[in-house]
Structure 1
Amino acid sequence: MDSAANSSATSVDLLPDAEPLAIPARPELTGGRRIGVLLSHGFTGQPASMKPWARALADEGYGVIVPRLPGHGTRWQDLNRSTYDEWYGEASRVFDSLCLDHDIVVVAGLSMGGSLVLRLAEDHADKITGVILVNPAVATKRLDVKLLPVLKHLVPAFPGIASDIKKPGTNEYGYTRTPLKAAHSMMIGWRSVVANLGKVSAPVLYFRSRIDHVVDGLSEVVIARNISSTDLDMVYLEDSYHVATLDNDLPTIIKLSLDFLARVTAAAPAS
């Protein structure tokens, strides 16, 4: 049975399917070892964007947790009152709980969630066996970003970036507005992630949509050039937009991530 990954999820009104998700590991399916996977959603998104992928991994015996990051899954105004450090704090809390209950841990993230799990891989290189990224965001070519320190005091939000999905009729139930104070906090948070990419030594599986209307190509260049991992598998998705975890290429993400998990955990010693 699915269970909440944090107790605060029921204390506020949530958007559809925004509850955190936690499914216990079944070590009888994974060689007797308890293998945990943290899956983080992106900026202005929420757990719904990660749940189909998480449940597919759980079906194969992996323990999965999809947290709801602070300020997400409720109202965009709530997000404008939260910060990158708080989002990373929640990701860290869930990661620590996975480490306590599992022999091996892999981290995965979509968009801003990708930057959060990269930072985990920087801070906990000795505890993370693999990193899976889907259209991660750590940088941008957009010139208007330079104006955020001023704009955030003049305009509370811009039009939303959620549900950039090619598949008809699919919705991640993210915010219809992009809160600027929160966006500025995220981009400040990127600085530390980028500065420490050389500490990412774990194997990395990187999914990148050929057409992405949210994250431009700079993040791919920055990550690929600066991580120290010698095991980087870049997979380009031909039939999905930004939220590829709900799009036409989800079967590819599931298959290749299961292959990756089997490979990187096979030789990993239990913690």
Structure 2
Amino acid sequence: MTIDPLASPLTIAARPELTGGRRIGVLLSHGFTGQPASMKPWGEHLGALGYAVSVPRLPGHGTTWQECNTTTWDDWYAELTRAFESLARDTDAVVVGGLSMGGALTLRLAADHADRVSGLLLVNPAVATKRLDVKLLPVLKHLVPSFPGLANDIKKAGGDEHGYDRTPLKAIHTLMRAWPPLVADLPKVTCPILYFRSSVDHVVDEASQPLITSKVSSRDVTVVPLTESYHVATLDNDAPQIFADSAAFVARTTAE
């Protein structure tokens, strides 16, 4: 399977001389049908500040939507866990973050490894939806392979996350089946959270934010509204704010 050159993972080594002598890692996850290109500018910004950065390519992404339809939530979570373990071995502390489905995956990681995740960065995370048609997915996924794509919900002119133009139904059904157990485990999340939420988002509706903020056990939760960005805010007009605020958050939550 040919992989889009833009979909190559990003790995940046720590430069502890820039971070007070400590080796600090940041793991960033792209979203469903997206790829590392949507996260690389963010990761590169943090890498330039001395943080070790890992942006993995989730299985079935950066290739074809047909291949994505052969992968599942478990595959994506396994790859993110592998990247987390690798980063954790080489650093003194790790902050994790994600966009959309990547936010759900990193919430899962923070719930499963509460004692090892120093902070959580969320950008328009998805753990629920008010859409009624998702109830038909168990049947629809056997009748049609895909729906129109979700990619490129970007307000900034010329923005491109290089995602798929189709939404693979078998794959997204596994994502939505993972939501209820994740929501049930949100109280296991105890680390500080910086939550970026676009005021206008055509992909993730308003169902997720109140679930997340009300159910996590974290006492340090900051919600930052993004007024000039749509769903893929990491590539949109508010990206500089995400980069700056997250850099300050990483420094604060990993300080000894």
TM-based fold match above 0.5:
yes
Match of 1:196 among 176, 185, 190: 185
Equivalence for 2:77: 88
Matched, 1:256 2:245: yes
Describe the SS at the equivalent of 2:7: coil
Matched, 1:160 2:132: no
CA-CA distance at 1:192 after TM superposition: 1.8
Does structure 2 retain, via aligned residues, the 8 Å contact 1:16–1:173? no
Structure 1 residues 222-261: aligned runs within 5 Å: 222-261=211-250
Mapped to 2, the partners of 1:67 and 1:221 lie a distance apart of 28
Mapped to 2, the partners of 1:204 and 1:46 lie a distance apart of 23
Mapped to 1, the partners of 2:237 and 2:40 lie a distance apart of 15
* Alignment deviations for residues 138-182 of structure 1 (CA, whole Å, 9 cap, x no partner): 000000000000000001000000010001111010000000000
CA-CA distance at 1:15 after TM superposition: 2.6
Give the gaps of 5 or more residues in structure 2: none
* Alignment deviations for residues 216-243 of structure 1 (CA, whole Å, 9 cap, x no partner): 0100011011000000000000000000
Letter of the structure 1 residue corresponding to residue 188 of structure 2: K
Describe the SS at the equivalent of 1:128: coil
Letter of the structure 2 residue corresponding to residue 238 of structure 1: T
Describe the SS at the equivalent of 2:74: helix
Which TM-score applies when normalising by structure 2?
0.99
Does structure 2 retain, via aligned residues, the 8 Å contact 1:198–1:226? yes
Number of equivalenced pairs: 256
Percent identity, please: 65
Letter of the structure 2 residue corresponding to residue 113 of structure 1: G
Does structure 2 retain, via aligned residues, the 8 Å contact 1:15–1:173? no
Does structure 2 retain, via aligned residues, the 8 Å contact 1:109–1:115? yes
Matched, 1:211 2:200: yes
Mapped to 2, the partners of 1:100 and 1:264 lie a distance apart of 18
Does structure 2 retain, via aligned residues, the 8 Å contact 1:83–1:185? yes
Letter of the structure 2 residue corresponding to residue 218 of structure 1: A
Equivalence for 1:43: 32
Structure 1 residues 1-271: aligned runs within 5 Å: 12-267=1-256
CA-CA distance at 1:16 after TM superposition: 4.6
CA RMSD of aligned residues (A): 0.7
Letter of the structure 2 residue corresponding to residue 260 of structure 1: F
* Alignment deviations for residues 85-126 of structure 1 (CA, whole Å, 9 cap, x no partner): 000000000001011111100000000000000000000001
Which TM-score applies when normalising by structure 1?
0.94
